[in-house]
Structure 1
Amino acid sequence: MTELSSAKTRRTTNWSAIWILPLIALLIGGWLAWRAYAQAGIEIQIFFPSGDGIQVNKTEVIYKGMSIGKVIGMELDDQGQQRGVRVTLEMDKRVELHLRSNTRFWLVKPSVSLAGITGLETLVSGNYITASPGDGEPTRKFVALTEAPPLADSVPGLHLTLKAERLGSLNRDSPVFYKQIQVGRVKSYQLAEDQSTVEVKVFIQPEFAGLVRKHTRFWNASGVFIDAGLSGVKVRTESLTSIVAGGIAFATPEHRKDSPPTDPALPFRLYEDFDAAQAGIKVALKLADYEGVDPGRTPVMYKGVRVGTLKTIKVAEDLNSASVELTLDPRTEDYLTEGAEFWMVKPSISLAGITGLEALVKGNYIAIKPGPKGGTALRDFVARAKAPPLDVDAPGLHLVLFADNLGSLEVGSPILYRQVRVGSIQSYQFSRDRKRVVLGAHIEPEYASLVNSSTRFWNASGITLKGGISSGIEVKSESLQTLLAGGVTFETPNPKASVTRKVQRFTLHSSREAAVQEGVAIQIRVLSGDGINPGTAIRYKGIEVGKVESVELTDDLQAVLLNARIVKASGRIASVGSEFWVVKPELGLIRTANLDTLVSGQYLEVLPAPKAGKQQLYFEARKQAPSLEVREDGLRLVLSTLRRGSIKPGVLVSYREVPVGKVTDFELGPTSDRVLIHVLIEPRYAPLVRSGTRFWNASGIGVEAGLFKGVKVRTESLEALLEGGIAFATPNNPEMGGPAQPGQTFALHDEPQELWLHWAPKIALENK
């Protein structure tokens, strides 16, 4: 009987691994709940007088460019004495420490006022609420400000207090200027404790804080200051901004430049205007004529505006001059540079007329012409004996007249139209080559329309005598004024001719007969007027056929318009088909031409039309002389190539290094993928070109090198090396083909094949 073994038993546990998942889920849920609690925002309430511009879930709280909260709710609040809107915001928990009773909130939105535009960035981002942290007890309820608070004194920069008798047109954010540059602004203003003065708080930016010294003077630069009387009208303003929004200006007197830095705790006085501040710039001026000057009263004027006063005068020991001290407006400092000019203005009667008539009313005064801004600063000047010529920016028409001689003209000589004075001569000097006299002229604004491109000027000075024993003697003078002082007269035969308001140049003829000589008036448009002046000749085959009478800019300012007169062969020249170009000196390795223009100056050359045809009065000058070969006989061909290279009109076409033709023109092909080069083969050599002829670009040098065969250098000729060239070869008989036809197109290869260079067909040429 077999004995059976007993079974072994083991106790099992009730725990299962599947319980891990719920535990993990519980931990994650707990972590998320804790995270949501830790990052939950803080709700606060702000009372606004109006909810205009605030939107739920859109309007944010921005502080220094960062979002720290958002509007989550709005409701009307009609409890209490004020009615408005209570806005609920959810704030970032990180700002909890700053939510105190003195923290201020306000709405930022676009605002346009006399002081400028603020909140412009909200046009893109929308309105937002911003804050200014403060101290106090923790709170969750606030009342919004109606506008941004004044700039805090803790902001880096210079914070000052100015005391004024009255506020004027100053306002919050009104600018503070130094030499017309805004360096700060008005923070706020209020009545002083004694209510007798106004305290104006200003802020100067940190980089400009050093400009304010202990003895700096501040004055109210608001609006326009006008002081009128028999002695003249004084108008002063700091800038257009100060006219509209008010403003404050300051400066330190020059004799106080060593003034120490200011103490911000000490208030400054705000003067009523610049004169009261007495902060002018001192300038020393030497006068040769000091008659009628009065210290403290003689003004310094610029275009009728008073810019300073003569303060002191010291007469030289020889009594021939005087040194005076001027006090000028600080705004003139940038223009007291090398080139600034002063002169005395007083009534003066001369042959040229009466000047300085206004000084009869307001007394003699000193006039100033500002120097270039940014130039070398000066404080010592010598006055001119008389006024300088008018600036070209002055109202009216400014002209330049070219004359062979000055005659009896002088500065102030009249310019007459129908014996009525319409302008005057302002200046005169030699031209650059000293062969002519250049006069500056000015036409009064109301008469500027009398001058156009057809106008002709002549010297009407003195007396003109004409005639003889048999015909009698004719004595003629334009007027008594021109008889004594000299003068210029003009006529405008075509009132409808083109007009320009830029500085124009005209020829000043010696007489009316020379000015109105017969001929045909034409206009020529050139790209540049460099070297071309009234009187520049127009020539054909070395013969002068006309002249340029005036020069002006085109209306689009892209070119120059020459008003000229053709007096010889006008039927052929003022005709369709004529061509004009400017002849200039040419200097090159191969070609040197027109060297006479280095001495005589540039001129215009004309190629008349083949025959007199339809009249044409407007021409556009060519950039260069036309290819005269277009009217010559010969075989005309077209060469097609990918690129032009150095090929240009005039380049030689050679056969066996013998010139047989030349390039006349080039252009892009109809589809713009090829360049078409037009060539002319001389009639005697036309039989050399056959249907099998090959053309190649012979410009430059061809180099072939190899280890065993050495270096081979090839060039067609010295001319081809320097200026480019085209060569061709024709196959031997009978492969050459038939004669080429006029206008036939050939390919222009980049380089020849070795076989072409060995072709040597026998082709009979015509006798010369």
Structure 2
Amino acid sequence: MSNQEENIEEVVYKAKEKKNKKAVSFIWVLPLIILGVLSWIAYESYMKKGTNIEVVFKSAEGLKENVTPLEYKGLQLGKVTDIKLHKDLKSVKVNILVKNEVAKYVASESSRFYIKRPTISLTKVSGLSTLISGFKIEISPKFRTKGEFEEGKQKFIFEGLDSRPDDELSAEGYYITLLANDKESLEVGTPIFYNQYQIGEVVSKEFKAEKAFLNAYIYDKFNYLVNNSSKFVMNSALKVNYGPSGLNIELGSLYSAIVGGITVVTPKKDDEKIKRDEVHILYGNKDDLKKKKYFHIKFANASGIGENTPIIYKGITVGKISELSLTPEDVSTKAFIYDKYKYLLTSNTDFFIKRPKVSIDGVKDLGNVVKGDYISLDYKKGEEKDVFVAKDYQDLKKSLENTIITLYADDLNSITKKSKLYYKNIEIGEVVDYDFTKNFSKVKIKVSIDKKYENLVNDHTLFYDLSSKLVDMKALNLDINYSGFEPLLNGAIGILTEKRTSNLSKKSFKLYEKYKDVRDLKRVYNQGSLYTAYFDNSFMLEKGMAVVYKNKEIGFVKSISFDEKESKVKLFIYKGFKKYINNTSAFYKKSKVDFSASLNGINLNIDNFTSFLEGSIHLMSKTDKTYDKKRVYSSYDELKNISNSISIVFDDVEGLHEEFSQLTYKGVKIGKVTNISLNKEQKVVVKAQIYDDYESFAKKGVIYYLKKPIISLQQVSDVGSTIKAVNIGVVTSKAKDVFAKSFVGFDKLPSIDKTHEGITFKVNSIHASKADVNAPIYYKFVKIGKIHKKELSHDGSRVIMHCQIDNRYANLVRKNSKFYDISGFNVKFSIFSGSKVESNTFTSILKGGLVLVTPEEYTQKASTIDEFDLIEELPDGWDKITPNIK
């Protein structure tokens, strides 16, 4: 063990020495990376920054910052970055950032810029992409080669164009230059038509020397339709013009009104083509193409007329006013008349302005209200003339040898130069002028009377003021004149004339202040007779009150003598009206206003202005009574009550009202209730007045009953009486010459065998039927009558129904006819056959009813003395019984 240990050598290894290197930290690398990124961004920003240019446009409509692109043939070259108001305050400055790679082509003196907009019409659709992306700015360079751009100068501020430049158009196309009227507004894309078919369009427009020029392109296949003889006219689309000459509306075809455009008229098809540098006028309308003869008209006052005011002769437009100019002396106008009417321009022709007359009473020359005033003329043959002095139309009328008279008044009141002279509601003249007399004590009014009415005026004619004093215009139903409400506004003069002489030797008359003054004078001149009449002192009459017959004054109250018991009045009746007064005549006073009102209604009666202002006495020429002496009653009702009144006695008259409750026969009002009172027996006495045919309703046997409202499931009738007054129904009598003035009234229509409505038959039943009063009676389910009344027999053994059958169906009721009860419905139940519900009509469930069945072998007609038994159930097959009743 020890020897082995000795043989083992100790080996010691020497350590290998290695040189240690120092590591670099990552924190020193990060700044280098950031520096590299920033350098790249700076490089990219520099390379892509682009070049700024400025373009000045008239309007920035449709342009948006950082949205609107700059394009050339669809390639985007830049973008709008800023839009500001230009320093001239009339336009806008648009800043565009242009990409660097194309900057030398855009920022060049050759560049032109315009805004590309969408075009949408019935004839063309283009630029639709701009509806979504917005408007675009297009560049149109003048230079076409790279060498030109390199030799050209740079430019950064530009003036924008209104439309695409003309030099971009095809050099081989047929282009026409049109000089547009400054009043017309035309856009690029406006169509050009020939016989309403499109043959071209406006492709550009330019404003030079304060004039608008349009460049129009004619499609190749239509070149032959346009040449030097062609005329270009704006389509007659809808044009509305309202000015001094009134409302002017022009409308061509519906297509033209919608599309607009330009129409070409080519009279010579073989003329030479239009050269590119030639300019043709664009006419505003076809009227401009007509040959015209120009002349001048001078006006003292041109109020109401202006440019385009028509000149109309006999309803035809023969020319127009084209220009107006003001001179120190007058208004001078340049006018034209169509060449074919130039014969109207003679030394004897007069021109004047025609104006409408508008008032409350109506419109004269209504057409002028719409189209305005116009120029008219009075043509007479003569030598040719081209300068005229217009006359006033009214002066022209007055120059026709009208009669001129002078009126003297204390006051002018409301009379003006617009005031008219009236006789029996017809205008016969007008006021020409007015002034003071020399001593200023009176007003002098000159009146012109139309020649055709001059015979109405003679030395005894009376003139009175019809001015705005309404209370002085009385008795307009007489022979005075009144033309509506115009006298209230402009004043007027009325006349009363006498035919005692037809000569007019006087040149001046007095103008009376009111109608009453001339009325009293007229009465003095009338011949007539005096009648004495009596009246009680419960009302008052006045001297001068008119006596009226059928709305015509036939006399007046001459004098009044008062007495404590009964007063006396003298009535002067004009000659010619005496024949209407006899021993059955009576008079009554017409109050100024007859007014009464309640929940039942309103009565307002005004007979005429005379009655309204002072009351009047009216004559009833023929009454139903003979009078020993003439009487004047306080009212029409009092007069009628004396002769045409009856008394009806009721137990109760709830709902009946004086003056509002009517007497009705077959739905017609034949009288009214004038008084309601109680008698000694505490019965209600109703005094009623019969309007006409007194004999038919004041005889024995006439039935008067209250028509009260009925509202139930079975019936609705006279429902108006729930709100208004209850009326009294009348059933006439066949009695002859048996008159009566007092009657017993019924609460409802009593049972009677025969009336104007039908014939009544009695139907007996052991028990009261479910059919109530007014329930229908059917024949083959056609209503032929109704149950009028139900009552017990005298001994109480049965119920009697009074069945009223309409007159036209009474022939169906025979002695062997049967009446069946169809009221309600029947329910039958059986274990073997089940349940059964029977009903005839829905009405029979609610109201009940009867059915009349007449056998095929029928007998004689039934009369009111015949009685029938009510059968409760209809037999099987009843509806198949169909007799042919004759």
TM over 0.5: no
TM-score between the two structures when normalised by the length of structure 1: 0.42
TM-score between the two structures when normalised by the length of structure 2: 0.38
Q: Which structure is higher in RCO with an 8 Å CA cutoff and minimum separation 6?
A: 1
Quick check: which has more Rg, 1 or 2? 2
